[in-house]
Amino acid sequence: MGEWVVGAPPVVVGGVTRLRVGSAAESVKVAREWVGDWLYDHGYAEASLFPAQVVVSELVTNAYRHAHVPGRPITVALYRSEGGVVCVVGDASEKEPEPQEFSLRATSGRGLSMIGFLVRSWGWHHPVAGGKGVWAVLDAEVDPSALDDVDG
């Protein structure tokens, strides 16, 4: 299970790619597809796509449901770090995310707990620009067949 950390996400290696989505329910689908496309385009194994899409779906859903500020977008950022691919979902709320205890009969509240099983580590921080970012180091593996043959 991935470790929950209160603090900044891992350091960027290379560039950061960002997506701004509106604060609407359809933003979840847009973000999910964008993350899958990014991983595929960067040579990650197909088996890595679905868990990563589940994670981003949950994080964007939480931003939409619990941290929505009218007129302020939700952002999704992806980048490589020494520990793997990092996904950061940002919103305008200062409210701290709180993983919940849940009963088997609960109809909600499982999302953040579920994320811990799908990622290497995860957490949240307050960026300098305000709001918060909830981040996860995705358990994404490079597809060896997608790598360029350097020997030609």
The pLDDT tens digits of the residues spanning 9-58 come to 888 888 999 999 986 778 899 999 999 999 999 999 999 999 999 999 99
According to DSSP, the β-strands at 119-125 and 3-6 are parallel
DSSP string, 21-64: E-SSTHHHHHHHHHHHHHHHHTTB-HHHHHHHHHHHHHHHHHHH
Task: Give the pairing of strands 119-125 and 84-91.
Answer: unpaired
For residue range 57-68, what is the model confidence (pLDDT) as tens digits?
999 998 988 887
Taking 50 as the threshold, does the pLDDT of residue 149 lie above it?
Answer: no
pLDDT, residue 5, reads 78
pTM across the whole model: 0.86
| Domain annotation for the chain: domains and CATH numbers | 3-146 (3.30.565.10)
Report residue 102 as tokens. Answer: 């849940």
**End-to-end C-alpha distance for the chain, whole angstroms:** 40
